Copies of this chain bind each other. A is one copy, B any other.
Amino acid sequence: MAVQTVASSTDSTVDLGPAAALSCRECGHRVPLGPVFACEECFGPLEIAYDFSGYDTEKLRQRIEAGPANIWRYAPLLPVPADVADKPNINPGWTKLVKADNLARELGVTGGLYVKDDSGNPTHSFKDRVVAQALEAARAFGFTTLSCSSTGNLAGAVGAAAARAGLRSCVFIPHDLEQGKVVMAAIYGGELVGIEGNYDDVNRFCSELIGDPAGEGWGFVNVNLRPYYAEGSKTLAYEICEQLGWRLPDQLVVPIASGSQLTKIDKGLQELIKLGLVEDKPYKIFGAQAEGCSPVSTAFKAGHDVVRPQKPDTIAKSLAIGNPADGPYVLDIARRTGGAVEDVTDAEIVQAIKLLARTEGVFAETAGGVTVGVTKKLIESGVLDPTRTTVVLNTGDGLKTLDAVAGTGLTATIRPNLDSFREAGLA
């Protein structure tokens, strides 16, 4: 942590809009904005503290509505400079909130069912939201290399954002990843370094690099830039409410990997309430995991406050974090809001991917299969109320996890004539 403290000697002229300081989620200790992520007092996670004073609700709403069709419409609520929309970035967000009437009918939801479909982001996952934030922080702190450890979606998002911004990128991945994933990460032309080891080895190496002079000038989006990066998930909450007509949904179903996304969605909803942009009313947040990586779901069901790590074994690889850093906060939020945490099997994930595609024409990544599958399960068990407005997140793209549904194929094979067509019962 020594190097972190050195790095926290922040330039007080840094302009990240309404971001006022970093504040420890555990002990509340505040430090100036800088590339640090852990509290020097208690090692708790640092997060952004804002100064939203002086905001007029109606003016803010008008400013947002007149803003660009991407996350920068919410610049006044994010740790970014006011002119962020004019800088080269990948400009994710303002993805579709799909009114899923067909899916609602199949699941028996009568109160309105929506899918927030983040497959429409530039590199087709929600990671573009968080990386776009981290890029602005990297620029503010004068970093010249954008980096991360990754096994998939994050690598592409970092590569694309760095390319657009004209920064160097250097992404670390396990050396034996599938060729398709390597291509998706390599195409943006940055350094793509294979580490001889597994994902844990990659992570350990990155932590070592941050503490070494060789890592000077490097912004690791999900390590030393994590407090900024994480705020990107708030934009999901903002967009959902604005797209519902500045209204809180009653129920949200959110996937859990590290748990950060779920906690920041809750933070975003609370901000909208405090700013008067939505009417205050109860909402419930439900967390969704794959059974093969369900440490938070397990803790929730057992009534525990502590999350016991699990070795992941599931097709939902983008959610396969066995020791989720924000797990305890997720438990807090699920319990406080009256939600729950549930998990589904790999078979249920595949069924849910197909269900969503068949009913709404949305081809989700395995993570979307997890949330849709959990939604179905929670309705069947009576935990989720089908008469209330419900929003389900799809955070990624089915094109990136084709293997999961590889069994899907032709419904018939015929010869090129009408007799063969009729014989197949297709007429």
| Distance between Cα atoms of A422 and B214 in the complex (Å) | 8
How many residues on chain A are close to B (CB under 8 Å)?
Answer: 78
| Interchain CB contact (< 8 A) of A414 among B69, B101, B195, B402 | B195
Is A353 engaged at the interface, CB distance under 8 Å to the other chain?
yes
| Distance between Cα atoms of A162 and B406 in the complex (Å) | 22
Across the interface, do A183 and B416 meet the contact criterion of CB distance under 8 Å? Answer: no
Considering only residues 370-427 of chain A, those with a C-beta below 8 Å from chain B are 397-400, 402, 405-406, 408-418, 421-422, 424, 426-427
Among A199-207, A253-261, A284-292, A337-345, the one that faces the other chain is A199-207
Q: In the assembled complex, which residues on chain B have CB atoms less than 8 Å from the CB atom of A189?
A: 354, 357-358
Q: In the assembled complex, which residues on chain B have CB atoms less than 8 Å from the CB atom of A399?
A: 124, 184, 397, 399-400
Q: Which residue of B lies closest to A102 (CB)?
A: B166
Q: In the assembled complex, which residues on chain B have CB atoms less than 8 Å from the CB atom of A359?
A: 163
Across the interface, do B191 and A411 meet the contact criterion of CB distance under 8 Å? Answer: yes
Across the interface, do A410 and B175 meet the contact criterion of CB distance under 8 Å? Answer: yes
Across the interface, do A196 and B413 meet the contact criterion of CB distance under 8 Å? Answer: yes
Copies of this chain, tallied across the complex? 2
Among A54-62, A86-94, A270-278, A320-328, the one that faces the other chain is A86-94
Across the interface, do B413 and A361 meet the contact criterion of CB distance under 8 Å? Answer: no
Is A179 engaged at the interface, CB distance under 8 Å to the other chain?
yes
Is A230 engaged at the interface, CB distance under 8 Å to the other chain?
no
Is A170 engaged at the interface, CB distance under 8 Å to the other chain?
yes
* Nearest Cβ on chain B to A216's Cβ, whole angstroms: 9
Q: Which residue of B lies closest to A128 (CB)?
A: B361
Is A83 engaged at the interface, CB distance under 8 Å to the other chain?
no
Across the interface, do B186 and A408 meet the contact criterion of CB distance under 8 Å? Answer: yes
Q: 6 closest A-B pairs (Cβ-Cβ)?
A: A189-B358, A160-B361, A163-B361, A214-B427, A164-B361, A194-B413
Is A96 engaged at the interface, CB distance under 8 Å to the other chain?
yes
Across the interface, do B357 and A415 meet the contact criterion of CB distance under 8 Å? Answer: no
Is A244 engaged at the interface, CB distance under 8 Å to the other chain?
no
Q: Which residue of B lies closest to A213 (CB)?
A: B427
Extra contacts besides A102-B163, A196-B413 (7): CB < 8 Å: A159-B361, A161-B361, A164-B360, A164-B361, A192-B411, A194-B414, A205-B416
